[in-house]
Homo-oligomer: A and B are copies of this chain.
Amino acid sequence: MARGINKVILVGNLGGDPEVRYMPSGNAVTNVTLATSESWKDKQTGQMQERTEWHRVVFFNRLAEIAGEYLRKGSKVYVEGSLRTRKWQGQDGQDRYTTEIVASEMQMLDSRGGAGDAGGYQSQPDPMGYGQPQQQAPRRQPAPQQQAPQQPQQAPQQPAPGFDDFDDDIPF
């Protein structure tokens, strides 16, 4: 349940290959950066100007696996999600904030094959129930770019890796 609407819609290109990681639970988390840009002619100089906005997008679970499998640097993609600002500690001990888009739906826009659409959950295509949609994603075996922990359920001797461990110490 939510009070309010928190919705982001992006169409852009990946700045690099997706980074797939695994939670102690075995769930996948995939990070990508997505570029959108706009250009205009400077009134003063008559020169064309361009500004590129870089968006940090994070996928979880099934969507993370699909993103990791099908997206590549340069891929054009539609992403729908919500804004989330995370607080983290810089090496100087200071608080930092990073805003990300937590993806709830993703769709590849390149025609080079791909996964079609993938959504966390979607509205019913067959609301009358005469045929139920199968919500399962295509599950060709993703090649994990990083090993999942071997004993994800076991209590770690060392401080448990938290979510922040999956993030660099800098916002981008």
Contact = CB atoms under 8 A, between A and B. Distances in A.
Copies of this protein, total: 4
Contact of A11 (B43, B51, B98, B109): B109
A41 B2 contact: no
Given A7-B8, A11-B107, A123-B120, A41 B133 contact: yes
A170 to B, nearest CB: 8
Contact residues of A: prevailing secondary structure? strand
B84 A132 contact: no
Interface residues on chain A, size class: 35 or more
Contacts of A92: 92, 94
A84 B40 CA distance: 16
A117 to B, nearest CB: 4
A37 B6 CA distance: 8
